[in-house]
A and B are shown apart, each in its own frame.
Chain A
């Protein structure tokens, strides 16, 4: 039923306007989101499944997939540790300079990926600050895996922290204080109270960080040596094949990344629903005495809009 029953007569637009707005909005989304997403798979399969699979089992494509996974697996654990540490400090304690720290966490969202890559080139490159020392000790950072991991750490730094801070602020510190006063050690409190409370928010942040880590192009491109089979991630592999007019190959690799995007969206939506349901249960439970209503709204907002709102509002 398009348009639905007008819920509030005084606030409802006339039917033609509702249809016009829905048509315009959906048309815009179809043009910019749905058609491109379909086109990726359609282009990849343009020459049939045989050519498609052939492009994917190509050794260079395989090595690009492997490298992309290695980078994501190396970056995510550090990202999680940083996110939890930053959120614990910011959401549980007051200290001078807290607002500055929050702004600094947002900074990677604002900097152009190309500038990020260049920055690390200036530090670790041959003419860079540590360049001569690294060369003397025969350590390769840029145009090699370590550099690609470091830039990805920079790019993904905010994701987990930005999810956890509002979540933990909304939850308050009562449960953790109760655990401690009942004799739990700090570690027991963290493992039995904090971690279960933040697990969905944490997962949400990890999903987003992972998508970005695997898909990053600009920053990684600057510090990668673009050596086939060695320092090419999947997005860089896509670029090389596309520039060689190998459309099938490029779109076959691109379709793997597009599939990753689709899985990311599904996982993200599932976690959002999960968080909403938990907060609804929480706010209905009579045992809760603190004002959960506002907390659950904050959490809902964080799940719904935080990633999309990289410099979103802090409670």
Chain B
């Protein structure tokens, strides 16, 4: 909103507030991250490459991304269903369940980690039913998927909920009155409308999962090349006093974080852009 310049001057404290915010953010966030970049730039390219593309590192990227993608996909599917039933239907305990969705944000990751490891162990509440089926979850890559599904569960639900709430009933009624079946209405009318939000939720879930550490290490088994995630590899490099290796891997992780953050921003720009020319545009077959 364009505000005439003189009105801005009316309110006090701009310099003080911006100054405080910039100093805090610089000292706590920006300068430390710049420190990592400086450290990384001091490594020779060969040193950097040797760690960042070593066999163990490559395997850890594969495990981290594979499990994160799988978890985000699971959350897209079930998150859509959960958001849908929370917005569209009424059932007993709905408000309680709505509040429960945020549990992964409130429950410390270490607690989630040991609990999931116990539940999915051979003799655990859930593991004992999976064992006869030949499904081993705890201490395998599958356990990583379970932990990441837990920690990133709220993202898709919470990005979809407001979008689903905002859909005008007229759009669906129009589709129905033109002879579309409920399924056609969903695929041709609703899905295109919620797609940006769904993708945003997916990317947020992915971004959270890729960096996750606390909940994974207890259930993963942490075998190098098989079930070792990149953040854990950074920790084990540190424990061996291999600061160079840890720095190289952390730089890769940081770059990935930036890419995902940019992707989220781009997706949001897309969402806003669509909203801008809303109306006829979204209902288009």
Q: State whether A92 and B29 are in contact (beta carbons under 8 Å apart), knowing that A118-B234, A235-B110, A257-B108 are contacts in the complex.
A: no
Instruction: Assess whether B153 is interfacial by the CB under 8 Å rule.
Output: yes
Is A211 in the interface zone, CB < 8 Å from B? yes
> Per a CB cutoff under 8 Å, which of A22, A90, A110, A261 touches B258?
A110
Complex-state Cα separation, A173 to B101, whole angstroms? 34
Which of these binds chain B: A49-57, A281-289, A307-315?
Answer: A307-315
A 197-212 to B, binary, CB cutoff 8 A, 1 in contact else 0 = 0000000000010011
Residues of B close to A1: CB separation below 8 A: 90
The answer for the CA separation of A173 and B4 in the assembled complex, in Å, is 13
Q: How many A-B residue pairs have CB under 8 A?
A: 332
Complex CA gap A234/B108 in Å reads 10
Chain A residues near B100: list those with CB within 8 A. Answer: 29, 33-34, 37, 265
B211 touches A114 (CB 8 A): yes
Per the CB 8 Å criterion, the residue count for chain A at the interface is: 116
Q: In the docked arrangement, what's the CA distance between A129 and B243, Å?
A: 13
The contact string, 1 if C-beta is below 8 Å from chain A, for chain B 37-54, is 011000000000000000
B92 located at the interface, meaning its Cβ lies under 8 Å from any Cβ of chain A in the complex: yes
- A297–B257 Cα distance when bound, in Å, is 31
Residue in B11, B115, B154, B207 whose beta carbon sits within 8 Å of that of A40 in the complex: B115
Q: How far is the CB of A18 from chain B (nearest CB, A)?
A: 6
- Which of B97, B116, B159, B257 meets A26, CB within 8 Å? B97
Measured between alpha carbons, how far is A175 from B14 in the docked complex, in Å? Answer: 17
User: Is the pair A119, B250 in contact by a Cβ cutoff of 8 Å?
Assistant: yes
Chain B contacts with A in 72-129, Cβ cutoff 8 A: 78, 81-82, 84-86, 89-92, 95, 97, 99-112, 114-116, 118-119, 125-126
A sample of 23 inter-chain contacts (CB < 8 A) reads: A3-B90, A10-B172, A21-B85, A25-B86, A33-B150, A35-B119, A39-B119, A85-B17, A93-B18, A110-B258, A111-B211, A112-B253, A115-B211, A115-B231, A115-B250, A118-B238, A157-B24, A157-B25, A161-B21, A235-B214, A239-B110, A251-B115, A265-B103
Report A's interface with B, CB cutoff 8 A: 1-4, 8, 10-11, 13-14, 18, 21-22, 24-26, 28-29, 31-37, 39-40, 43, 78, 81-82, 84-86, 88-90, 92-95, 101, 103-115, 118-123, 127, 129, 150, 153-154, 157, 161, 173, 176-177, 180-181, 186, 189-190, 208, 211-212, 214-218, 221-222, 234-236, 238-239, 242, 247, 250-251, 254, 257-258, 260-262, 264-266, 268-269, 301, 304-305, 307-314
Of all A-B residue pairs in the complex, the 5 with the closest CB atoms, nearest first, are: A112-B211, A215-B108, A308-B158, A217-B214, A4-B90
